[in-house]
Amino acid sequence: MQYKSLGTTDIKVSEFALGCWPFAGGNVWGPQDDNVSIATVHAALDKGITFFDTAEGYDDDSHSEEVLGRALVARRVETIIATKISPPHLVPNLVEQTCEASLQKLQTDYIDLYQIHWPNHDVAVEDSMAVLLKLRDAGKIRSIGVCNFGVQDLTAALESAEIVTDQLPYNLLWRPIEVEIQPTCLENNVGLICYSPLAQGLLTGRYA
């Protein structure tokens, strides 16, 4: 396994991450056995994967953050946890309590990468960022990232805070980020986290 830094930070992550949305089950993923999800986390760790990505919004039959927290309760020091705050909770007076709820579910006292899951254009990004920066200064989060931010949203966010990463869909079938978003990230030293690299299974050869 190879490891890289998140953006310009000293946070080292495995090049491969385990995306934990399926742990939630629900209509998208179907019924999931929490014990199997926990065993999957342990198997990933044993293979050198240290980077685990979840979100408060992954909450259906099970809550992904809670399942991941149970899996890592004895192995937290080996891992880098990324989670996300949902758009409705970007209102400044909700950001801190949302982060605290994630910390409790994850059974940890800090989050390595706290990401805005999607832009919320009804809330000024600088107002949300102000609270996120306070959380970073307090040690509740180590770094701030975004997800699904195009050039305009990313540029606006960068005016308010250091954005470590932008998480976007990217695979051989879906490559539009190469046109504008990827160059913008490179120019601003924003790391790219790519989700759905196998197009949710279409590129595995499983489907004819």
Report how far residue 108's alpha carbon sits from residue 113's, in angstroms, rounded to the nearest whole number.
Answer: 13
Report how far residue 120's alpha carbon sits from residue 128's, in angstroms, rounded to the nearest whole number.
Answer: 10
Report how far residue 59's alpha carbon sits from residue 21's, in angstroms, rounded to the nearest whole number.
Answer: 9
Do residues 51 and 18 touch, judged by C-beta distance below 8 A? yes
**42 Cβ neighbours under 8 A, 6+ residues apart:** 71, 75
Active-site annotation holder among 58, 110, 170, 207: 58
Report how far residue 102's alpha carbon sits from residue 86's, in angstroms, rounded to the nearest whole number.
Answer: 11
Question: At 168, which helix (H) or strand (E)?
Answer: strand 165-169
Number of H helices, E strands in the chain: 7, 9
Do residues 110 and 139 touch, judged by C-beta distance below 8 A? yes
Report how far residue 170's alpha carbon sits from residue 99's, in angstroms, rounded to the nearest whole number.
Answer: 27
Among this protein's residues, is 170 annotated catalytic?
no
**Could you give the residue numbers annotated as active site?**
58
